[in-house]
Amino acid sequence: MPLNVKQPMLCHVIVIPLLLALALSSCGKIGDPIPPDIFFPQSITDLTAQVEKRAVVLRWSMKDRSGTTARIRILRNERDTNGECPGCYREYTQLVDTSLNDARFRQPEKDVFYYHDGEVRSGYSYSYLIVACDALNYCSEKSNMAETDFQEKD
């Protein structure tokens, strides 16, 4: 019985490129899959920090049209203004992670929020970021950075 050499060769020529094409035709996006019906809270883009008396007052507006924002995380970086490198990497620690309805958030006007950070020291520079999260802990991108130097007035 003669061996047909063309048949296995033909199999390799067709099957191998097909398998290779299937392997390379994945979606192409690397990352955690996100269900399509998830609406992330909107990022805060107008965060400001201002020194008032013995505190730094943060102010931001948030129009939560989808009604998804349930929690606010405030991140803070503290650095000594004497000697630390102003352009260096900043490590942020979580200052607050609480409900949007927390009494610490003053809301004198619609869609505008205030937070008083009274745990500040004279001679230090403070920068802040805010992240808005929903009840399922899906969070927005970080807000713009707001920064101020705190000098206690006599």
List domains and CATH numbers for the chain.
48-150 (2.60.40.10)
Q: What does pLDDT average to over the chain? A: 82
pTM for this entry: 0.72
pLDDT at 80: 84
Q: Report whether pLDDT(47) > 80.
A: yes
* Whole-Å CA distances, 63 to 18, 68, 122: 51, 11, 34
Alpha-carbon dihedral angle through residues 129, 134, 138, 143, given to the nearest 10 degrees: -20
- Residue 148 near residue 56 (C-beta atoms within 8 A): yes
* Whole-Å CA distances, 145 to 32, 51, 117, 142: 26, 15, 15, 8
What are the tokens at 66? Answer: 């989808």
Per-residue pLDDT tens over the stretch 107-133: 777 888 999 999 999 989 999 999 999
